[in-house]
Amino acid sequence: MNPVIALVGRPNVGKSTLFNRLTRSRDALVADFPGLTRDRKYGNGQLGDKTYTVIDTGGISGDEDGIDAAMAEQSLVAIDEADIVLFMVDARAGLNVADEAIANHLRVNQKKTWLVVNKTDGLEEHSAMADFWTLGLGDPHPIAAAHGRNVTTLIDEVLAPFPEREDGYVPATDKGIRIGVIGRPNVGKSTLVNRLLGEERVVVFDEAGTTRDAIEIPFERRGRPYVLVDTAGVRRRKNISQIAEKFSIVKTLEAIKECHVAIMVLDARGGLVEQDLHLLDYVLTSGRALVLAVNKWDGLESEQREKMRADIKRRLGFADYADLHFISALHGTAVGDLYPSVERAFKAATGRWSTNRLTTILQDAVSEHQPPLVHGRRIKLRMAHQGGTNPPIIVVHGNQTGSLPEAYKRFLTNTFRKVLKVRGTPMRFEFRSGA
Ligand code: GDP
Ligand code: GDP
């Protein structure tokens, strides 16, 4: 798992500025979870051969008399999820009572904490830092987040104890399809995981391999191997009634990265909420194959069912490529139907098509429906080839492709999806113009 860095401090000390700088690398994915926890942002970044996750915590103003409550609300959760805390203070504003209050909390916390003095640009470093020694959190580290001053050196030092990690991690397929069961708290993930594993003709291999740090549960169903990526900590519990592990966004994001197909669980009783949309959006941005499971379908009134169906249609239109199942994890209803969808999504996500085939589809599409003229010249689309899998990337070559209207791109996407029978995975298109 990536080392997790939490940025903590008063508002305005420069946390978002540092967050943006740290998540600027090419593959950085930022997940925003305003619904889940007011103002907490998650991002991935990379420095040299090391990758990391950063959490921006918004701010602790210290003005409210219950600083504990304010801390508890978001920063404590972030600190809890983090391996490293960067406590940021503002060199220009100097030491502040709120800084002291936060420092008191951090001193009793077991997490490795770095005192970071920001906005030292144009200041004499030594005098800028003098104030902050009294916080009792060790050496202050001067940076200027806005200008990048000392930032790389600091992160390099912060990450020193953590091992390198191969980038571009692609989940291995040799042990079967890796399934991640994800969703916000209480939608029924643990119940579903137990149900999937408890099904007839499922053989769970007891030696849960912990090849990577995410907990993996290998099993076999009808002779086919699968691996469950367990975010709910189901396997570590002795029995089902034992309390589930705390919901962790970091673990959820990690599971999305480490699975081939995500089963996103929604709660028919609780309805659709912001958090569902944000998680789903993250799954799509990650390019993960997806199956939607609307859980707790048992015993619902028909109006409730209609409302849920309508809500899904209206708000989840952007994920309409995913198979949708209405299930009851509790009773096991329709749970077995998830497997064919998982298989189909996996097959689509990892499918390979020849340049010939893709070019033929492109040319058929073009002759059915010509691209428009731009400045009196028709946009030409000549050839298509596959640029990658999981998610499938189709690279289209032609002339003036930069002027291709969105509506035409949608037409092409739909055509390729239909002809190639791609369901359950996002698909990406790249357009290139040649001479
Ligand atoms: P946050 O509330 O802690 O997330 O703080 P922001 O990142 O929004 O920054 C607050 C203000 O400080 C903004 O106006 C930034 O442009 C400014 N700021 C951030 N980093 C630096 C820095 O290194 N030097 C200076 N001079 N200003 C900075
Ligand atoms: P998690 O936090 O997502 O892992 O959710 P749990 O699996 O712990 O389930 C949360 C609550 O929803 C528990 O009380 C479950 O018994 C209940 N639950 C889970 N699945 C179903 C279902 O299909 N129908 C009903 N009625 N309740 C369910």
> For residue 187, which atom of ligand 2 is closest to its CA?
3
Do 270 and 372 belong together in one domain? Answer: no
Do 24 and 121 belong together in one domain? Answer: yes
Instruction: Decide which of 328, 350, 372 is a domain's last residue.
Output: 350
pLDDT of residue 154: 96
pLDDT of residue 296: 97
What is the C-alpha separation between 70 and 426, in angstroms, rounded? 39
Write a three-state SS string for 27-88.
CCCEEECCCCCCCCEEEEEEECCEEEEEEECCCCCCCCCCHHHHHHHHHHHHHHHCCEEEEE
Instruction: Name the stretches of the chain with pLDDT < 70.
Output: 25-40, 58-74, 165-173, 206-214, 232-246, 435
- Taken in order 200, 205, 211, 216, the sign of the CA dihedral is positive
In angstroms and rounded to an integer, the radius of gyration of the C-alpha atoms of the chain is: 25
Instruction: Decide which of 299, 321, 350 is a domain's last residue.
Output: 350
Instruction: Decide which of 138, 160, 182 is a domain's last residue.
Output: 160
Do 124 and 69 belong together in one domain? Answer: yes
pLDDT of residue 211: 42
Do 194 and 246 belong together in one domain? Answer: yes
- Of 12, 15, 17, 141, the residue with max ligand 1 atoms within 8 A of its CB, to mutate for a pocket test, comes to 17
What is the C-alpha separation between 176 and 76, in angstroms, rounded? 38
- Of 264, 276, 330, the residue with max ligand 2 atoms within 8 A of its CB, to mutate for a pocket test, comes to 330
Do 15 and 151 belong together in one domain? Answer: yes
Instruction: Quote the ligand 1 centre to 14 CA distance (angstroms).
Output: 4
> For residue 295, which atom of ligand 2 is closest to its CA?
23
pLDDT of residue 56: 87
Element (H, E) at 110: none
Whether 213 is in a domain gets the answer: yes
> For residue 234, which atom of ligand 2 is closest to its CA?
4
ipTM over 0.95: no
- Which segments within 222-350 are labelled E, that is strand? 224-230, 261-267, 289-295, 323-326
pLDDT of residue 31: 63
Do 149 and 177 belong together in one domain? Answer: no
CATH of the domain at 236: 3.40.50.300
Look up the pTM and report it: 0.75
pLDDT of residue 243: 53
Using an 8 Å Cβ cutoff, are 203 and 219 in contact?
yes
Whether 165 is in a domain gets the answer: no
Instruction: Quote the ligand 1 centre to 414 CA distance (angstroms).
Output: 44
Do 206 and 245 belong together in one domain? Answer: yes
Whether 45 is in a domain gets the answer: yes
Do 329 and 429 belong together in one domain? Answer: no
Owning domain of residue 367: 355-433
Do 181 and 293 belong together in one domain? Answer: yes
Do 315 and 185 belong together in one domain? Answer: yes
In the numeric block, which tokens belong to residue 50?
Answer: 């090391």
What is the per-residue DSSP string for 189-222? HHHHHHHHHHSTTEEE-SS---SSSSEEEEEEET
CATH of the domain at 393: 3.30.300.20
